[in-house]
Amino acid sequence: MAFAVDVDAGSAERTATKELPGRQTVDPESAVLAIENMNCGGCMRKIERVLGDAPGIASVRANLSAKRVTVAFDPQNTGTETIIQTLADAGFRAADLAHNNLDDSNRADRDLLRRLAVAGFAAANIMLLSVSVWAGLASDMDAEIRSLFHWLSALIALPTVAYSGQPFFRSAATALRAWRLNMDVPISLAILLATGMSLVQTIRGTDHIYFDASVSLLFFLLIGRYLDQSLRSRAKGAAQNLMGMKSGWATVVLDDGTSERMPARALEPGMRILVAAGERIFVDGIIEAGRTDIDEQLITGESVPRSAGDGDKVYAGTVCLTAPIEVKATAADNDTLLAEITRLMETAEQNKGRYVRLADKAAALYAPVVHTLGLVTFLAWMWAGVGWEAALITAISVLIITCPCALALAVPAVQVAATSRLFNRGVIMTAADGLERLSEIDTVVFDKTGTLTKGLPELVNGGEISDETLSAAASLATKSRHPYAQAVVRSAESRGLKVVPAVDVTETPGAGLSRQLVSGGEERLGSADWCGVSGGPGVTDNTQATASLWYQPAGHEAAAAFRFVDALRSDAADTIAALHSAGLGVALLSGDQKAAVKSAAEAAGIEDWFAGQRPDEKIAQLKRLEAKGRNVLMVGDGLNDAPALAAAHASLSPASAAEVSQIASDGIIQGHRLEPVTETIAVARRARRMSLQNFGIAAVYNAICIPLAMAGFVTPLIAAIAMSASSILVTANALRLNTAKLEL
């Protein structure tokens, strides 16, 4: 599935909302659906329009970045299964999700943005009132007008601090209840003390009023908090969308021979399930009747379907391609292979969650130092005999000037600049700490099918096949979903041939396609045995061994051989060479067969490769590298890669990857080239250096300003201005990343 950004969508995180009037119900229900192939703003609008016209729908809210749609509906007129079928009729593959944690992160983003807007508006207005007082224009005013200005400032500042400061106040209260300190404790102290002292001084009618300092401080702190939150919200839990693949409805054959549609979560071992062609299998089980081709790419990474019949094992999450089958369930719900992959991913995500980010390391040292400095300043000035009010104002100035605005912006500002640069070069970062982990990698591990290769078989001997033969074979191939058949059609269309779909075509699973001609005779497209060419005239052992597909025309004409290859991406070898030149180790892990993996590794220039790797074996290989002290970047695309992507130190997925793999990774590579892998590593390394530079700027600022504040040379307003200047400085430094010339 593609992860695309449409020009109408604005960004990968754009959310579209549409309320449909005139469809209110007394007690509507809601459902969250994962839309596998919602790739652009046009898809989003079509989904909203299709569901908006359906009966019983109260409202529709589509989210392009998460590929989800939330639907409120009247249960008396429609249901989840009907909605899914409506989407299927419109060409969209949907699955029911039991939970929707994404809305929580979206609400958090919107909440911070509202608080930021309120603080900015209030800071601007209070500053207008303060300019006349602090610039000396108020010297001509009488005391009543100055007092009025102060009370107007208080009227704006108090509700603003109460509303916009809640994220810091709640965090500080939580920390204090647990008998610990965090960065929000001194922030809250500075804001509350400055505001409280200003209110007391306003009541007393003095001139030491610092509402402008407290609200401006809050505004700049919220900028850093919002940037950090918006980046964190992109890191979604991968296991939740994986569970969506277990959601849906299955047809169960009852003991009396009748059938019943049941939710996939209600299936139990021993049940007999009918699976139609094109449907996903929801259980692990044994085929009891029928033969079909099974698309197992999400599980094994193998792009060529497996032929399966009576007695063969099938797994949840795979797709029945060519013919209906009846499956006896041996494992369902939480006992399937799909559920085991989910558990592997959850474990891997927990391990990755223990990673301590650069900003968090700095924050661990910040809080105790700031509190100590503030307390020492207050006690020293009290000991000097200046009185508690002057001592408290000086201590507040110290707290304000040491407020971690520059520190809080040091990493988010660089992250925003880095993710913007990568976005313009076709890479979408989805993890807040992904860039930091990417900067530390020294080994890159690739999956093969769909990552190192294009993931689509291509006809390589088209020059040996005549237009007439290719056109006839393509006419048959239009009736099959098999990747080889689709490759024949693509080859004929690319040659400019007119492909007319054949009629009365019969597909025999595991064998091929056939059609009886009106003029007599039969033409076939499929395996060598199916086309009757094994050992036939003109068929050498080498041709039979290398051909993947055969076309046997009606009559006595010789069969035509079709050979396919899953070609490497155009710049795969150059990318691997660049990684080697930069001193990075490179390896290949694949669930594909040994011969195919060896061929791809040799063509790409990779010496270390492993074939036939299951999801748990891929994680084991990564653990072995980790035990050797290696920080691994995993690049993969299939469901079988998702646990490894979550377990690796850092991870990337191509845009064609399974949605679960995209969300498990730290970034998504757009386009058909691998060059963005090297660009991403180079940007991540430069971003880390620039983050350290920003921490250095913040340290120099504090080293100069803190002694001045402790010595009483800085008022709370000057402290707020100095703090803002340091924030602007680290932001300007971060913006240099957009135009920097980088080499890996």
What pLDDT, in 10s, does the model give residues 638-653? 667 878 888 888 999 8
User: What's the confidence (pLDDT) of residue 605?
Assistant: 93
Global pTM reads 0.61
What lies within 8 Å, CB to CB, of 647 at 6+ separation is: 344, 347, 348, 351, 352, 619, 622, 623, 634
In the chain the domains, ranked by start, together with CATH numbers, are 15-97 (3.30.70.100), 105-233+355-413+688-738 (no CATH), 247-335 (2.70.150.10), 458-565 (3.40.1110.10)
* C-alpha dist (Å) from residue 443 to 605, 613, 632: 15, 19, 5
Given a cut of 60, is residue 512 above it in pLDDT? yes
- Parallel/antiparallel/unpaired status of strands 325-331 and 522-526: unpaired
Q: Which helix (H) or strand (E) holds 250?
A: strand 249-253
How distant is the alpha carbon of residue 205 from its chain centre? 55
Given a cut of 90, is residue 351 above it in pLDDT? no
Given a cut of 60, is residue 101 above it in pLDDT? no
- Parallel/antiparallel/unpaired status of strands 667-669 and 650-654: parallel
Catalytic residues: 447
> What is the rounded distance in angstroms from the CA atom of residue 345 to the CA atom of residue 242?
9
Read off the tokens for 51: 């569901």
User: What's the confidence (pLDDT) of residue 14?
Assistant: 34
Exposed/middle/buried for 104, CB within 10 Å: 0-12, 13-18, 19+?
exposed
Place of tokens 């044994």: 286
**Among candidate residues 86, 13, 19, 1, the one with its CA nearest the CA of residue 47:** 86
**Residue type at 343?**
R
Given a cut of 80, is residue 437 above it in pLDDT? yes
Q: What are the pLDDT digits (tens) for 576-614?
A: 999 999 999 999 998 877 888 888 899 999 999 998 888
Read off the tokens for 441: 């990698």
3-state secondary structure of 669: strand
Q: What are the pLDDT digits (tens) for 369-423?
A: 776 787 888 889 889 888 877 888 788 778 777 765 566 667 777 877 888 788 7
Query: What separation, in Å, do the N-terminal and C-terminal C-alpha atoms of the chain show?
Result: 30
How distant is the alpha carbon of residue 566 from its chain centre? 27
Least confident range of 50-59, 528-537, 550-559: 528-537
* C-alpha dist (Å) from residue 530 to 88, 320, 522, 527: 34, 21, 12, 5
Please report which confidence band the pLDDT of residue 37 belongs to, taking 50, 70 and 90 as the band edges: low
Pair 427, 668: CB distance under 8 Å: yes
Exposed/middle/buried for 144, CB within 10 Å: 0-12, 13-18, 19+?
exposed
Pair 723, 401: CB distance under 8 Å: yes
